[in-house]
Amino acid sequence: MSGKTQFDNIYLGLQPVPGRLRLVDSGIGWKATVGEKIFTIPVAEIRKLYWLRAARDYELRIKLRNDATVKFDGFHRNDFETLKEVSKSLFKIPLEMKELSLKGWNWGKTEFEGNHLTFNVQNKPMFEVPMSEVANTNLAGKNEVSLEFMSPEQSDRFGSKKKGFSGDELVEMRFYIPGTTAANPDEEKEDGTEGEKEDEEEVKNAVAVFYETVKAKADLGQVTGESIVLFQEILCLTPRGRYDMDMFPTFLRLRGKTYDYKIVYNNIIKLFLLPKPDDVHVMFVIGLDPPIRQGQTRYPFLVTQFVRDEEIDVLLNLDDETIEEKYEGKLSKKYEAPTYEVISTIFRVLTGRKVTVPGQYRSHHGMSAVKASMKANEGFLYPLEKCFMFIPKPPTFIPHSEVGSVTFSRVGSAASSSVRTFDIKFNMKSGADYQFSSINREEYASLEEFLKSKKIKTKSELGDEALTSYAGLDLSDSDDEDTSGGRKRARVSSPGAPGEEDEESPDEDFIAEESDSDIEEEYNENYAGSDAGSNDDEVVSDDMMEEVGKGKGSK
């Protein structure tokens, strides 16, 4: 047998591009046909070799001494004899044939092997789940665990072609796991009596053990670097709860009592820093695409809340060289400032997204928002320079460019003596409409003036008649004009309670590719475009940060 054997059109794991596999006495090497990627395995690291059927013909599976598994797909049936002889002569390791279960049952036993979860039926593997592809895991029910997988946009295995991916992709899998199990089943007790006692103490629900194991395994290879900074007990209004926010160079971990999320910074498409009109709190809003999920409820926005006067003292886990070279000096080694200011600054630098703050609008009481209700939910409506934002529940994003007209209701003089509030309805160019009610009548003049300044057509309903105002409106701009090249978008809202139906959370409207072109940021009135990779030294100026901190401005 020759000292070198080569196979063409072989795939490494889930890679979409084939390559050339070469086996020599020193180990195994693979090189992609496109690019310069080379993958090698020294012979000293190889523990076992398996041959089995796979989706792409046949597979050579290599079990390493560190319990990791490497897969090569694309072999033909007649390659088995060649590989069997090569593995024996070069590596002194036999090639074992592994049978798969083809029964089609949906019940069996799970087993964690290195960086894979194996589902076995009658002691034969039916399918495997690579832990590196698990984005999130949650306790979906009393005895259920859900595994959410990375989308093609999140995963790096599609390389430069990930945006053009058009195939079907598994996004979620659920396991029903009843009964109990030992918390540490692999540990052996030296003393029999003490061992029985410890076994009794360590018996836990099988679903809890499985859930904790998935969380630990999914972090392998994903959280190998050290955290930059950890913010604890962050109050989140939507979805409701307190979360620890652990920030890494390319993603963050959001850890709560029930839910645990991994959010890649590329999935953060908008950031808002909005003062609450109570002079006490500031809300920091994070826009996501794709949204996170709790059961069937999707949340395209995270709404966090901070006490305005609360300060934090943090030290970033970064050296001075990394701050200057990688982050261009936009971060500081140490922060002693209000919490909302520190968090928004770090988010801005790590995500590369600009932070939207209130513009020139001031309400009757000098605030940057008006109190309003959307259906049964009370909140605040922020008229920003390029959009309207309603928070905290459900977070509703309405870009000016998509508004056809705005209708005011119950603002007539006949009702002025008995009605102290009015309603406002945004009629979108897409045909949808979003209505906000219970707005104080004192806010009517400032809202109408703001809409006219933005050249948005307004209507006032007075009983059976409607008055239309075209003041300040450029009549050359038709409200039927398609400002997005024939493709219109409505706002994106996040459902409130987890029990709401998914139909009320149209996450499909949240289109990341269009987000930068549709919604310019708010803190620069001469802003010409929202380039996420902008090299602006300061996105939120000191004056604007001070304005957010004050919460009030001159009328």
Burial class (CB in 10 A: 0-12, 13-18, 19+), 73: buried
pLDDT of 168 over the 90 cut: no
What is the rounded average pLDDT of the residues 100-110? 91
116 to each of 111, 122, 405, how far by Cα in Å? 8, 19, 54
User: What was the pLDDT predicted at 202?
Assistant: 67
The two structure tokens encoding residue 67 = 């319990």
Q: What is the pLDDT of residue 156?
A: 52
- Which residues on neighbouring strands pair with residue 398, listed in sequence order? 388
Look over the chain and give the mean of its residue pLDDT values, rounded to a whole number: 79
Percent of residues, the chain, with pLDDT higher than 70: 73
Average pLDDT over residues 414-429: 79
- Rounded Cα distance between 352 and 445, Å, is 37
Which structure tokens are listed for 530? Answer: 């929202």
Please tell me the predicted confidence (pLDDT) of residue 153.
Answer: 58
Q: What is the mean pLDDT of residues 4-27?
A: 90
Query: Is the whole model's pTM more than 0.75, yes or no?
Result: no
Ordered domains of the chain (ranges, CATH): 4-97 (2.30.29.30), 109-219 (2.30.29.220), 229-550 (2.30.29.150)
pLDDT digits (tens, 9 = 90+) for 133-142: 888 888 877 8
314-353 pLDDT per residue, tens: 999 999 999 999 999 999 999 999 999 999 999 999 999 9
Write the pLDDT tens digit of every residue in 232-272: 999 999 999 999 999 999 889 898 887 888 888 999 999 99
216 vs 429: which has the higher pLDDT = 429
Half-sphere exposure of 266 (CA within 13 A, CB side): 11
* The pLDDT of residue 443: 92
Q: How far apart are CA 116 and CA 71, in angstroms?
A: 11
Q: What would the two tokens of residue 431 be?
A: 């045909």
Instruction: Decide if pLDDT at 162 tops 50.
Output: no
Residue 481 has pLDDT above 80, yes or no: no
Mean pLDDT calculated for residue range 49-54: 92
